[in-house]
Chain A
C-alpha cells in the first residue's frame, strides 16, 4: 500500500510559488496541471514533515527493585495482586503505580495517515523512541512503552501498540526503535476547522512507560518519542 500522504516531485522540500499579483495566479486565467502537481507535492510534503515531539524527558525514577516491592503490588489497595506477577502477560506483570511506571503521557491527538501492513485499515503514524537506562548489575532490566486510548494503564484498558526493551548488559544501555500501532477506535473531540464550519473528529492516544528493575541502583536516563 502506498503512503497516504501521496506522491512527491522530489525529496528536497516545499516548492515556493510567489503569491503576488504578478505571479501566474491571475484571476480568470486557467490553472494548469503543472501548477496543480506542485500544489499537491507541497501538501504531501507538509503532511510528511509535520511530525511532532510527543515525549521528552531526562531523569531517573530510582524506585525499589521488583524483588523488594513485588513488582509494585506491595501495599497496593486498588487492584488485586497476581499470585505470580512474573507469570502474567507483560503488561500485567507490574502494578503501574509510581514504583513501576511513570504517569501516562498525553492525550495526543493523532492523525490517521499511515498505511497498514497488508489489507488493514490505515492507522496512526509509527512512533520512534530513544530510550536510555543504566543497568547497575548484570540482572534483567525491562522497560515497557505502551500506546493506549485512555489514561488507564495497559493492564486495565488494553493497548494498541507496544515496545518491550529487556537487557542484561551492565552499564549504559541505549535503545532505539519504532512502535507500530493499530488504529484507535475512540473518537475523543470534535472541533470546527474550516471557514465553512467543517468539523474535525480527533482521536487521542496516551503513552505509558513502565519498568522492572532488579537492582535499585538501576534507572531510567532519558526518553524521547516522536511521530515518524
Chain B
C-alpha cells in the first residue's frame, strides 16, 4: 500500500465511526481515544480489515496500536506477508 492507500484506509476506519466528521481523521489520530470508541468499534475495524484487505487483525494488534498510522502499518505489514 502506498500513501494514497493510506488515505483510503483512514477513510474506511472513519466510516466505522459513523456520525463523526471523517475529514477530522488523520494518521496521527489516536483512534481509541475518540468519542464512540468501544469494543464494537474494534470488531467493526477487524471486520473491515478482513473484508477490504483480507487481513486478520487480532485483539493484540488493536491493543498495541495507538494512532491510525500504527494501525495502517499493521495492516500493511500483514498484506505484504
Q: Do A and B come from one complex?
A: no
Residues of A with Cβ closer than 8 Å to B? none
Residues of B with Cβ closer than 8 Å to A? none
